[in-house]
Amino acid sequence: MCCGICVDACAHAAQRCAGFLLYGVLHYLPDYNGLCRDPMARVVLKGVSKVFDNGYEAVANASFTVEDGELAVLVGPSGCGKSTMLRMLAGLERVTAGEISIGERLVNEVTPKNRDIAMVFQNYALYPHMTVFDNMAFGLKLRKYPKKEIESRVEQAAEVLGIKGILSRKPKQLSGGQQQRVAVGRAIVRKPQVFLFDEPLSNLDAKLRMQMRTEITKLHRRLQATMIYVTHDQVEAMTMGDKIVVMNDGQVQQIDTPLNLYNSPANVFVAGFIGSPSMNLIAGTCSGQDDARFESSALSVALPRNKLPDHAMELDIFLGFRPEHLYIRESADAPPHAITLATLKITLVEPLGHETVIYGNVEGTTIIARSKIPVPPAPGDILHLLVDPSRLHYFDANSGAAIGR
Ligand code: ATP
């Protein structure tokens, strides 16, 4: 009988790959041992790489651990290798180098169906001719679970997901959000060791995405299961993850909590990727000793020395500051220790009600600020900006690495 991923994986693969023999795969399903998940569901990746047949390295030397019961989010821009990483975890893609362990068991050579994981995909992959109940029960029926056990698990999952009232409907009679809940329900009923989510909310509109991501977070708390969630959306990552793995270009950039990513980005990429609007990153030089200054074509800023090691002096750097750490000189919200940053000419104003996003220009350099000023300024206005010096970030312009972190 089947342990989990194969049903989703086959449906997904059938969509991706014409001619995939679904029946053939479902026919050879392994035994499912026990009804509860293994209490140790730690996932460990050590030096994992993936080089495709055409020589392209999609994942390079990735190492990280997802603890038992943790919700880890893999986040990065399109093409950075996050789905490839998830597919390697699921066993749908072979690793070229490195080791993957699930629940203390090395799984490099273990087939997807024997990994005791359940995967939820972006495109739901529900069987259109089956009711919601049958879609959720399908994997358990294949494993010849007793009818009563199947009914009880499906009902429990439907209760948790708030879809009890639609169990007799077919997928085409459901909204996108309901279909996604069914796909999640199909994973839950299996009680797998690990849940893998591959951009499961991408097909939903913005409001529903927000609602569903809260529901998945609540579900995680309730199930206390190990979950790995892939998304390109940094807001989704920040709001859902206990731990976030930021990827770019096949490389893991930083593994950290949401707050640490925000407060102490390890490099220029993470600094620019986490936060919206993005951190301002201005190229220039750091010089001086006791009275250190940052100089660029647009800015000349007195820098506090406490965060700057000696070796940062005379270096080409990127000075980073988030839009929300800038203040209009005349506004009341500026902290007393704020220092002068720049005088800029406003080019664009985005009033959002609770705040205003201001785009300005200083000597050809664009600076973005967020302000709670009650009366938004207008394009063409001149603004004097202050910055909280404790919120400045410094990056080595050559390596991109954070300085003094
Ligand atoms: P997205 O968010 O767009 O889904 P991703 O971060 O999940 O992107 P992957 O799907 O993991 O990215 O792909 C990583 C890189 O590997 C991409 O450049 C992609 O073109 C490449 N790639 C994926 N599959 C193959 C393959 N079978 N052969 C060669 N290259 C591949």
pLDDT band at 10 (very low <50, low <70, confident <90, very high): very low
What pLDDT is stored for residue 191 in this prediction?
87
pLDDT level of residue 8 (50, 70, 90 thresholds): very low
**17 CB under 6 A from ligand 1?**
no
DSSP one-letter code for 388:
-
Q: What's the gap in Å between 59 CA and the centre of ligand 1?
A: 9
Using a 6 Å cutoff on CB, does residue 79 contact ligand 1? yes
Residue with the smallest CA separation from ligand 1 atom 2 is: 78
Considering only 51-60, 130-139, 265-274, 294-303, which range has the smallest mean pLDDT? 294-303
Q: What confidence category does residue 405 fall into, taking pLDDT thresholds of 50, 70 and 90?
A: low
Look at the chain and count its residues: 405
Mean pLDDT computed over 61-87: 96
Tell me the range of 21-30, 128-137, 299-308 where mean pLDDT is highest: 128-137
* CB of 81 closer than 6 angstroms to any ligand 1 atom: yes
Residue with CA closest to ligand 1 atom 21: 58
Nearest CA to ligand 1 atom 28: 52
Q: How far is the CA of 84 from the centre of ligand 1 (A)?
A: 6
Question: How many Å lie between the centroid of ligand 1 and the Cα of residue 237?
Answer: 19
Give 227 Cα–ligand 1 centroid separation in angstroms.
21
What confidence tier does 122 reach under pLDDT thresholds 50, 70, 90? confident
Question: How far apart are the CA of 186 and the centre of ligand 1, in A?
Answer: 26
Q: At residue 291, what is the residue type?
A: D
Ranges 15-19, 95-99, 353-357, most confident:
95-99
Alpha helix segments (H runs only) across 2-73: 5-16, 22-27
> Tokens for 355?
């705040």
pLDDT value, residue 21: 27
Between 130 and 19, whose confidence is greater?
A: 130
State the distance from the centre of ligand 1 to the C-alpha of 377, rounded, in angstroms: 44
Q: Strand ranges (DSSP E) for 234-279?
A: 243-248, 251-256
Distance, in Å, from the CA atom of 113 to the CA atom of 381, rounded to the nearest integer, reads 63
Q: Is 83 touching ligand 1 by the criterion CB < 6 Å?
A: yes
Comparing 17-31, 118-132, 228-242, 246-260, which segment has the lowest mean pLDDT? 17-31
**In terms of pLDDT, which residue wins out, 348 or 113?**
348
Q: Which of 19-23, 126-130, 319-323, 373-377 has the lowest mean pLDDT?
A: 19-23
Of the candidates 403, 363, 361, 400, the one whose C-alpha atom is nearest the C-alpha of residue 379 is 361
Question: Is the C-beta atom of 271 inside 6 A of ligand 1?
Answer: no
Structure-block tokens of residue 143: 């494993």
Residue ranges of domains in the chain, CATH in brackets: 2-265 (3.40.50.300), 277-396 (2.40.50.140)
Q: What is the pLDDT of residues 65-77, one digit of tens each?
A: 999 999 999 999 9
* CA 249 / ligand 1 centre spacing (Å): 10
Residue 35 has pLDDT above 80, yes or no: no
Q: Residue 92: CB within 6 Å of ligand 1?
A: no
Distances in whole angstroms, Cα of residue 402 to Cα of each of 30, 41, 71: 48, 33, 26
Contact predicate 190/156, CB 8 Å: no
Is residue 55 lining ligand 1, measured as CB closer than 6 Å?
Answer: no
Tokens coding 287:
């010089």
Separation of 72 CA from ligand 1 center, angstroms? 20
